[in-house]
Structure 1
């Protein structure tokens, strides 16, 4: 019983991974089955191979109902499909277990690891306890089971103290029991001495257990516990958001006449006035707002599988359950509200979607690998944050988001005009939102609307705030508001989703579900407050008639008044010299006054130009070196060298603009450092041309250099003239 107690204590770290009654059943069956095999093996003195065969048979017979209950007939009898999943789970379920969000319940074959380890550990421990000359070694298998539960478990230390104390008590009790049995075997001929020895051992063990309990409890509550690292924390998720297009990139396409009225989603249970999120974007490279960090290290880019449910007990907000039917919507991003607790897919593709569902709890964004399509259906339970009635009372939060480019000067000046830096952060945020709603007008650039350019790069945002009237749509207003909120001090991100038109009766079907059409796509922002909540704020102005464009104010240029020099003082000598009859020969032999002034000006200008030439000569030398390097690369003798030279030219330009380009990195890694789709495509094209067995195709080098030129222009477009000059004279690309 003490060995079984050790095994039960070793199973405690596995509980946070499952949090299901199915785990209790699987663990109990594994321990009892292993104990029965060990007892039978000792009773009938089975050889090792027979014990292994019995253990494998128990795994096949009991594994399906205990570890894969969804594949058991009537919950008891194994099925062929269940046996296949059981055998495959012995090899594959370990990786799945550490790349999935917990708790997992009885999802697929993920109960196989604790069941298999429990069965093996129980069989070996009982066999050692009953058949070995060193029964104290029976502590080792439960200890290994305990370590496996810690390594494959979760990062937080829930049940850590309880597990340690329970295992310690059971292990010490077993060691004492072994010592007493051995002492009795030696002193069977002396019962009095044996009884006294037993009493001493029991008393000593009791003292030892008491000291261990007090010491462990004191250490647990008094000493700081370092952050625990487990296998789950070190693995990369299988879903990479950078492999998919940002939902904001194709924002304008939703308002095409052919798409605007097309039903996209039918949502039942959507609270009045609420929208449904498609994805949360927190990474901006000056061109595209996307999901997750561009270096693939941000927590917002880590997506894990969610087969069972998520613990959102610490989340702020109201619990909402929505039922979503997919109509015309087609993308990998799963619509939702707030922080997800549980999602259940229904319909013919339910199992496929459940297997391919991934979720990021930092941003509340979900995705499915095969993508949603017409006919898909799911029910999602979430915790949705409540809005703020008074923005001016908000205080900024402390979350760290991926780095973003500096706010352009014109946006910074407009922010200072709307919300002076002397005001409180909440007051500035409220004033900034009010400014967009007051001065902004909505246009999607359709044929019957005022011209409005799409995109949300920095140059488009500068155009938004400089034109009068201010014309754009959610793509520009949300990005501009997010950047300004970050400048104020609030962690801010962009949300893309659907906002139903509350004035449109067609949004409501007979069944009570809200039907969202393509033209109701919208973008808004979320800001984090000091209490950790992410609050949704809509910076978009109400659609209204756009006034005529204001004429540019003429610049009045006034002619400067001529400043006449004061008359020179005259002396008697001057008066005499002014007489044309006097000293005529002396005047003719001197230098003309205008010529003397001209010579002085030219001399001064020469010295100034010479000084400037000396000052700028090092910078001109750098620019000349880069031009010569570019010429040599472009005129290299072979096409492969010219193609490689084109990529080197782009990488050097990125390094001059401040990107951390590592020389020993691959082209794909360098492209990921710069960010955006263009560099990744160029890196793939260069790799394919360089490593192709037949060499690059005709004209491939010219295409590569044309692409390099376009990417260089995109790198420099959002930057100021001074930043472009600083990149031109930078030594970053000449360092090696």
Structure 2
């Protein structure tokens, strides 16, 4: 081998050599991953167990392997990003959402969509879901994504930065930032109940102090070079560990904040669903009794005799209507709905009675309020369009009410496991006080409510007996009328203050569940008892059970009052259909019919008392089912478009800049074109990875570039020195060259660039399309702070 060949080989870029991490780098990676693992464990309170650790540890391992792999093969920033993204989606399916893969390993479109959606929206869901979180399926993507990012960045810092820079404390401090951020994130997304805060905090601090103490130099001499220095360093390390354990344990015991004083983001972020955006269900009571009274709303299987189906629970009264509580006014009120999975949190005040599983299939019912029995403990959407919207389910544990923000429609079905409230007798409640429950104050209540409550409760002692006395007054003296034209005495709809006054002040009380339950609940609240109105359905259920058809005529409402240690006990103040008064003579019937007492007739015309209920006009083609793109498809599409944009948008921008640069250099006199051809050649070689020192003459730079050209038997290096001489002749000769000379020089220059591209590896050719020499030179000047040195 000649001396020139040897020099060329020594000067050629070492693109094929593998850069394996050294022993110290492996130690750095191990320490940083251990710190990150302490941060991942902080997610335990949110998930209520260790089920998320498979995703969290999987993200740590994947991020570390990706960082080591890309560093060993010296991949550039763009290729590192591409490899990391591909690995994130391929491995993430099996680690974070294995239930959506094939055989628990092979990714599917659904698993890829969950990874994309969970990465973006999982954080908000984690903070709004009631703990412990278990659904939606993509919720496990949160610890996976967090640990993956931290492990990848930490490994890249250890292999590409710490290993080739002077060992200073501030550089190691920067390397600690990702793991520290993950530790803090685990705290912020947690709950008021910290997970092993003292142990984790002390372990984190000790590991950081020991690592910094042994990794940074002391006085410029390695501590291991002298046995006395090594002994002192070991003794100092032991002392640091002991002090950290003692001081950290004492601080955790004496200075740790109380549970209610811990700052977690969960307490600062309200659930996105606001039930006040929807009309009060009780305001639409007459829609069921007058408009769809004979139409089937849904079918239910598994009901027991006497079961009531809860639709909505209302505990706030404004003088106009009953509604749910504003979630900003009461965190435990009827308006605070949380994202939930299949397993639902238990009710805070209930004496549970086991209930068989209930299956409900929607037919004519359309609303966001989900009809259910008692207090659900397990809920699953089993059919219809709603099955694809399980992430839109919200639940209020204190009321047992559920909503599906996308609404229920014909064909939707679901299954409920629930417990019902034990119904004790009035005698059993006679010695039980009402519960101390925080409810919003009622406003706009007419004075007659309080006066009638005091009058009717006179003589009763206990709260239960007073409430029963008021209920019996309604039942025995009131008359039932739904305001239909066929009723003997129609009644006006509504339950505002004026309607309640009319009910209580009239000679005969006439109304239906909407008015009687409203008046009874307001009377109970005037006595200081916690009461709320519940709207739902009460179908007739036979002893054999079976499938029951629920129509609009089965709609009902009742009142629940909270008793200490018992729960929310139901009261039904609405009178049944009664016999016709004796002064009313029924019309003769062709066949004997059972007689029922209806309210006395009114002198007013029915039309004056009826309150029409307007329904939305439906388009004739409303029942037509249009094709709807599933939500996951949008997530996958956005993810793919984003990835393509990251790859091709920079390529387009760089290509435009280079094309403009080329056009500018080929303009002007021949001498300027010749100089531009050489500048273009130098820039292209620099972008291919060649060392192109500035401020060198063209012949000297040509010699340097020829020496860097990789030795190859198939391809000889281009004659750059000849090209440099021809360029100098055209630039400095002073003669006006012919246009053909400039074109030929440009052809030779671009040919030399083509030869260099052909000799370069495919990876280098790809990266050159994203490089601009001027930007590379600027970045090199800004980042060069000290000579690099190897750790070996």
| Cα separation, 1, equivalents of 2:391 and 2:68 | 40
Deviations 1:38-95 (A, max 9, x none): 4446666666655544433321321222234344333212234543443354334333
Shift of 1:422: 8.5
| Cα separation, 1, equivalents of 2:285 and 2:248 | 63
1:357 alignment partner, one of 386, 393, 402: 393
Partner of 1:267: 300
Secondary structure of the residue aligned to 2:358 is strand
1:478 and 2:517 are equivalent in the alignment: yes
**Contact 2:45–2:195 under 8 Å retained in 1:** no
**Contact 1:494–1:523 under 8 Å retained in 2:** yes
- Residues 557-572 of structure 1: pairs in structure 2 closer than 5 A: none
1:204 and 2:243 are equivalent in the alignment: no
**Contact 1:345–1:379 under 8 Å retained in 2:** yes
- More deviation in 474-483 or 530-539? 530-539
**Contact 1:252–1:454 under 8 Å retained in 2:** yes
Partner of 2:359: 323
**Contact 1:55–1:119 under 8 Å retained in 2:** no
| Cα separation, 1, equivalents of 2:143 and 2:327 | 37
1:392 alignment partner, one of 430, 445, 459: 430
1:278 and 2:311 are equivalent in the alignment: yes
1:453 and 2:492 are equivalent in the alignment: yes
1:302 alignment partner, one of 320, 326, 336: 336
| Cα separation, 1, equivalents of 2:192 and 2:410 | 43
Secondary structure of the residue aligned to 1:384 is strand
| Cα separation, 2, equivalents of 1:99 and 1:189 | 55
Shift of 1:141: 1.6
Shift of 1:119: 0.8
Deviations 1:401-448 (A, max 9, x none): 333235423332221221139944333223222222232232223314
Secondary structure of the residue aligned to 1:237 is coil
1:409 and 2:444 are equivalent in the alignment: no
| Cα separation, 1, equivalents of 2:49 and 2:327 | 37
Partner of 1:69: 98
**Contact 1:18–1:106 under 8 Å retained in 2:** no
Aligned-residue CA RMSD in angstroms? 3.3
Shift of 1:326: 1.9
- Residues 25-36 of structure 1: pairs in structure 2 closer than 5 A: 25-36=54-65
Partner of 1:148: 185
Residues 297 and 211 of structure 1: is their aligned pair in 2 closer, same or farther, counting only changes over 3 Å?
closer
**Contact 2:44–2:195 under 8 Å retained in 1:** no
1:312 and 2:351 are equivalent in the alignment: no
Question: What count of residue pairs does the alignment treat as equivalent?
Answer: 542
Partner of 1:251: 285
**Contact 1:264–1:516 under 8 Å retained in 2:** yes
**Contact 1:102–1:310 under 8 Å retained in 2:** no
| Cα separation, 1, equivalents of 2:345 and 2:307 | 23
**Contact 1:287–1:457 under 8 Å retained in 2:** yes
Structure 1 unpaired stretches of 5+:
553-736
Secondary structure of the residue aligned to 1:393 is coil
Residues 373 and 188 of structure 1: is their aligned pair in 2 closer, same or farther, counting only changes over 3 Å?
closer
| Cα separation, 2, equivalents of 1:453 and 1:326 | 30
Secondary structure of the residue aligned to 2:206 is helix
**Contact 2:474–2:516 under 8 Å retained in 1:** yes
Deviations 1:218-268 (A, max 9, x none): 444xx6344344434334433332332322122233233x74343333223
Residues 388 and 231 of structure 1: is their aligned pair in 2 closer, same or farther, counting only changes over 3 Å?
same
**Contact 2:63–2:152 under 8 Å retained in 1:** yes
1:513 alignment partner, one of 547, 555, 558: 547
**Contact 2:348–2:398 under 8 Å retained in 1:** no
Partner of 1:24: 53
- Residues 608-623 of structure 1: pairs in structure 2 closer than 5 A: none
Partner of 1:13: 42
| Cα separation, 1, equivalents of 2:459 and 2:228 | 89
2:140 alignment partner, one of 106, 111, 130: 111
**Contact 2:313–2:532 under 8 Å retained in 1:** yes
Residues 227 and 140 of structure 1: is their aligned pair in 2 closer, same or farther, counting only changes over 3 Å?
same
**Contact 1:264–1:326 under 8 Å retained in 2:** yes
Query: Higher RCO, 1 or 2 (CA under 8 Å, sep at least 6)?
Result: 2
Shift of 1:477: 0.9
| Cα separation, 1, equivalents of 2:558 and 2:564 | 20
- Residues 272-671 of structure 1: pairs in structure 2 closer than 5 A: 272-293=305-326, 299-312=333-346, 316=350, 317-320=352-355, 321-390=357-426, 391-420=429-458, 423-446=461-484, 447-501=486-540, 505=542, 512-531=546-565, 533-547=567-581
Shift of 1:198: 0.8
**Contact 2:64–2:151 under 8 Å retained in 1:** yes
**Contact 2:44–2:50 under 8 Å retained in 1:** no
| Cα separation, 1, equivalents of 2:488 and 2:576 | 15
**Contact 1:346–1:378 under 8 Å retained in 2:** yes
Residues 198 and 295 of structure 1: is their aligned pair in 2 closer, same or farther, counting only changes over 3 Å?
closer
Residues 138 and 382 of structure 1: is their aligned pair in 2 closer, same or farther, counting only changes over 3 Å?
farther
1:83 and 2:112 are equivalent in the alignment: yes
Shift of 1:487: 0.7
Deviations 1:609-639 (A, max 9, x none): xxxxxxxxxxxxxxxxxxxxxxxxxxxxxxx
| Cα separation, 1, equivalents of 2:368 and 2:156 | 52
Residues 249 and 389 of structure 1: is their aligned pair in 2 closer, same or farther, counting only changes over 3 Å?
same
Deviations 1:83-138 (A, max 9, x none): 34433543343334434444442524333332222111112334445652344654
1:242 alignment partner, one of 253, 276, 286: 276
Residues 38 and 255 of structure 1: is their aligned pair in 2 closer, same or farther, counting only changes over 3 Å?
closer
**Contact 1:139–1:171 under 8 Å retained in 2:** no
Secondary structure of the residue aligned to 2:224 is coil
**Contact 2:479–2:578 under 8 Å retained in 1:** yes
| Cα separation, 1, equivalents of 2:481 and 2:113 | 58
Residues 544 and 232 of structure 1: is their aligned pair in 2 closer, same or farther, counting only changes over 3 Å?
same
Shift of 1:23: 2.0
Shift of 1:392: 3.1
Shift of 1:480: 0.5
Secondary structure of the residue aligned to 1:429 is helix
**Contact 1:180–1:198 under 8 Å retained in 2:** no
- More deviation in 344-353 or 232-241? 232-241
**Contact 1:18–1:102 under 8 Å retained in 2:** yes
Shift of 1:519: 1.6
**Contact 2:349–2:568 under 8 Å retained in 1:** no
Q: TM-score, normalised by structure 1?
A: 0.66
Q: TM-score, normalised by structure 2?
A: 0.62
**Contact 1:23–1:105 under 8 Å retained in 2:** no
- More deviation in 238-247 or 227-236? 227-236
Partner of 2:726: none
Shift of 1:33: 1.5
Deviations 1:155-175 (A, max 9, x none): x322x1504422431331342
Secondary structure of the residue aligned to 2:311 is strand
Residues 495 and 314 of structure 1: is their aligned pair in 2 closer, same or farther, counting only changes over 3 Å?
closer
**Contact 1:4–1:31 under 8 Å retained in 2:** yes
**Contact 2:308–2:537 under 8 Å retained in 1:** yes
| Cα separation, 1, equivalents of 2:260 and 2:51 | 32
Residues 47 and 174 of structure 1: is their aligned pair in 2 closer, same or farther, counting only changes over 3 Å?
farther
- Residues 118-267 of structure 1: pairs in structure 2 closer than 5 A: 118-129=147-158, 132=162, 133=167, 134-135=171-172, 137-153=174-190, 156-158=191-193, 160-182=194-216, 186-220=222-256, 224-256=258-290, 259-267=292-300
Shift of 1:144: 0.5
Structure 2 unpaired stretches of 5+:
1-29, 585-598, 601-792
**Contact 1:508–1:514 under 8 Å retained in 2:** no
Secondary structure of the residue aligned to 2:196 is helix
Residues 22 and 107 of structure 1: is their aligned pair in 2 closer, same or farther, counting only changes over 3 Å?
farther
